Amino acid sequence: MNALANELNSALAGSIADVLLSGLGRRLYFPKGIVAQSAEAKKGATRANATIGIATKAGTPLFLPTIRSLVPGLDPDEIFPYAPTQGVEKLRELWKKEIIRKNPDLGDARFSLPLVVPGLTCGISTLADLFADKGDTLVLPDLHWDNYPLIFETRRETAVATFPFYAGGGFNVEGMRETLSRASRAGKVILLLNFPNNPTGYSPTIDEAAAIVSALRDFASRGNRCLVITDDAYFGLYYEQKIYEQSLFARLCGLHENILAAKVDGSTKEDLTWGFRTGFITLGSKGLTEAHYEALTRKLMGALRSTISNSSMLAQNLILRSLEDPQRLAQKAEAAKLLRERYDRAKSILSRRKSTAIEPMPFNSGYFMSFRLLRGKAEDLRKALLTGSGVGTIAINDGCLRVALSSVDVEKLEELYDLIYSTAEKM
């Protein structure tokens, strides 16, 4: 094993991260190669910097004016060079402040400086590289994003154990608790929670969130070690009272020494920058110190360096400038208001509809709502809607059809649901 990897493993020895690391995670390190030496030269090479492989003139990156003219608000140094592997430092610092602002339940819990990744998918995949092995188990609700099994089961050969998402019209905390207990191998398990959920559009209530936290505390107190990943892609889009409007990361990162919480979030949905591919990984545990977080960050950087190298400098600086703009929060509120109008309209329409073929599942947040099929298969309904009515939906599994309210204008919702119900009834 590389000496640098051994140094990082020694720094993590005895911590929850040490127990949870995969074989690949143990081998990962950030090399003292081109990138590290270039970063050092950037600080000390006052006469000439002949390290990084970009073209410059008088210390400024060369660029094509046709491209430069498209981004007049940024300096060339904010557009064209490579970004640091870990991300633009100021953006990382501002995003950490945002996490603290949005999650007051963090209190005085200590957690890592967010590391920039090119999108939330990369964030989850990088965590899988670091912590998921063949023989480990990932626990998921049965209604989940289809990329999770591809990342963990296909790429990392990690077993997937699911539990029914709903129980009694709300989140199935007891099902989660029982599945965690069954899935724990040698006291280790990975849990991935996504709220607001894709595909259901459901977030836990305040009471349900407290029950999730209690279940995980009990699980950890029995000696089980758990990586809990919170996929917060749709954070902030809450439409009902009594929803827990913070990330569960806020309650988990200081909960117990046997729990390592990993928050994956980004500007993608929060700031309507889907194509910017800019996300963040943030880690927290009651037992970790700054030295532990630094070692984990170096391993994450090694995973990024060996796959995507770094994230977009342009995208990061556009987001950074937005974070500094005092108008940003008001603009986000306007976008959220538009989505809330669609949610309210959908709820009103659905409250008047009854069917023996489909029924809406509970939803209260995010981009989506889903139907449970009472007869037939979702794929057949999806195809019938597409070919017969020109309506696009997503079949999640045989019994679940997803509708993205985020992409349907409010005035089209009545027609959309008329077509879904009428088509389902005819099948």
**Same domain assignment for residues 307 and 166:** yes
pLDDT at 233 over 90: yes
- In the beta sheet, which residues pair with residue 57? 60
What pLDDT is recorded for position 53?
80
**Same domain assignment for residues 288 and 195:** yes
> φ, ψ for residue 193 (rounded to 5)?
-120, 135
Task: Assess if residue 202 is contained within a domain.
Answer: yes
* Mean pLDDT within 32-46: 61
Candidates 213, 231, 226; CA nearest to 259 is 226
* Mean pLDDT within 58-69: 92
What pLDDT is recorded for position 42?
64
Q: How many CB atoms lie under 10 A from the CB of residue 78?
A: 18
Q: Decide which of 57 and 67 is more confident.
A: 67
Give the alpha-carbon dihedral of 165, 168, 172, 177, to 10 degrees.
Answer: -140
Candidates 280, 197, 272, 192; CA nearest to 238 is 197
Q: Each residue of 393-416: pLDDT tens digit?
A: 999 999 999 999 999 999 999 999
pLDDT at 347 over 60: yes
CATH code (residue 361): 3.90.1150.10
pLDDT at 301 over 90: yes
Q: Give how many domains the chain has, as a whole number.
A: 2
**Same domain assignment for residues 218 and 281:** yes
Angle of CA points 269, 155, 382, to nearest 5°? 55
Cis peptide before 196 (omega within 30 of 0): yes
**Same domain assignment for residues 275 and 149:** yes
Residues 246 and 264: their CA atoms lie apart, in Å, by 13
Task: Assess if residue 61 is contained within a domain.
Answer: no
pLDDT interval class at 47 (50, 70, 90): low
- What proportion of the chain, given as a percentage, has pLDDT over 90? 91
pLDDT at 46 over 60: no
Task: Assess if residue 364 is contained within a domain.
Answer: yes
What pLDDT is recorded for position 52?
74
Tokens 């107190």 map to which residue? 221
Strands (DSSP E) contained in 58-105 are 60-61
Q: What is the residue range of 286's domain?
A: 3-30+85-324
Q: How many CB atoms lie under 10 A from the CB of residue 111?
A: 22
pLDDT interval class at 305 (50, 70, 90): very high
Q: How far is the first Cα of the chain from the last one, in angstroms, to the nearest whole number? A: 60
Residues 23 and 31: their CA atoms lie apart, in Å, by 18
Full strand arrangement of the beta sheet holding 358-360 = 358-360, 368-373, 400-404, 394-397
Task: Assess if residue 50 is contained within a domain.
Answer: no
**Same domain assignment for residues 230 and 254:** yes
**Among 324, 343, 378, which residue terminates a domain?**
324
**Same domain assignment for residues 274 and 397:** no
Task: Assess if residue 132 is contained within a domain.
Answer: yes
* Mean pLDDT within 1-14: 96
pTM for this one?
0.94
Candidates 87, 96, 120; CA nearest to 311 is 87
What pLDDT is recorded for position 36?
57
* Mean pLDDT within 324-344: 97
- In the beta sheet, which residues pair with residue 279? 117, 266
* Mean pLDDT within 40-47: 58
* Mean pLDDT within 256-282: 96
Asked whether the CA dihedral 1, 138, 171, 360 is positive or negative, the reply is: positive
pLDDT at 37 over 80: no
